[in-house]
Amino acid sequence: MVEVKKITGKLAFREGQYDTALKNLNEAYETSRQIGTQFLEAEVLLERGTLFRAMGRPFDALADLESSYQIYTTLKADGKRETTEQVIHSIEKLYLEIFDSMAKEVDRKDHYTKGHSDRVASLALLLAKELGLRSNMLKTVTAAALLHDIGKTRVDDSILKKASRLSAEEFQKIKKHPESGIDMLRGKEFPWDIKPSILHHHEKLDGSGYPLGLKGEDIPLGARIICVADVFDALTSDRVYRSAYTTEKALAIMAEESGTTFDPVLPKRFTDMVNRGEADLVINSRTSDDEMYCIWSQCMGETGSSEEMMVEHSVTM
């Protein structure tokens, strides 16, 4: 019965009959839970999560993916590695695609920031690879970077698109976007610990950032990496109040803030990476549609280890 409903739902999904697909997948899910078949339950949740994504219901999709991921991870731990590992990778990719679609909602609010979230994610991932971080941290940084500005969807367009200098009151509203982003994700669990990096990507080394004024190593490494990528992309992109800086000028500005805004190791390694041409496809809106997915796919075959923790702690202030 579960298989029949699942297949019927999949066929309806492929034919664009979303309501019929959802009805059948809901019935398949309830039956799988009643008879206690974990594999089938996980499969149905993955199918329904994919359907919710297509229906433009990202938070419902994330809830189903979370449950499916947990089941498959448990099954893998129980020794069913061969039958679950590839599915786990496909779920992780679907997470990324959903995060990407959510990030594009931010970009649609202001054409001046079009592509910003994708570029920040690509640059942050390249920097994380430059630092030698391994699979789990690479995925954490990428996912958090995609969603780093998601809280801006709660900021009025009149503030985001304002051509003149923001008032103190308006700037305070802008500064709430990291906390708003975390609030939007409240109750959602992900395969990676992305929330600290989202919350703290505007913290500064000297404690003058926001929202909590964290200093030094109290700022999560992922947030420090995203900060570098975020500032660089902002400097090298056109804004309503100024034209884009050249790459060289942007790197010079960031070098001046090394040790105050930025962990001094990170701008140096970022500059080395840029000077070798490794970010050429990303800088100044030249990101190809699949650039981030190509970089992400390079992470899929790697597994985290104690080496990752050693690398993280070696990035000092």
Supply the residues annotated as catalytic: 152
Cβ contacts of residue 310 below 8 Å, gap of 6+? none
CA distances for 87 relative to 47, 309, 312, angstroms:
12, 26, 28
- Contact (Cβ atoms closer than 8 angstroms) between residue 143 and residue 190: yes
Preceding omega of 211 cis (within 30 degrees of 0): yes
164 close to 241: Cβ distance less than 8 angstroms: yes
Residue type, 265: V
Cβ 53 vs Cβ 98: under 8 Å = yes
Instruction: Count CA within 13 A, CB hemisphere, residue 26.
Output: 8
SS3 of residue 258 by DSSP: strand
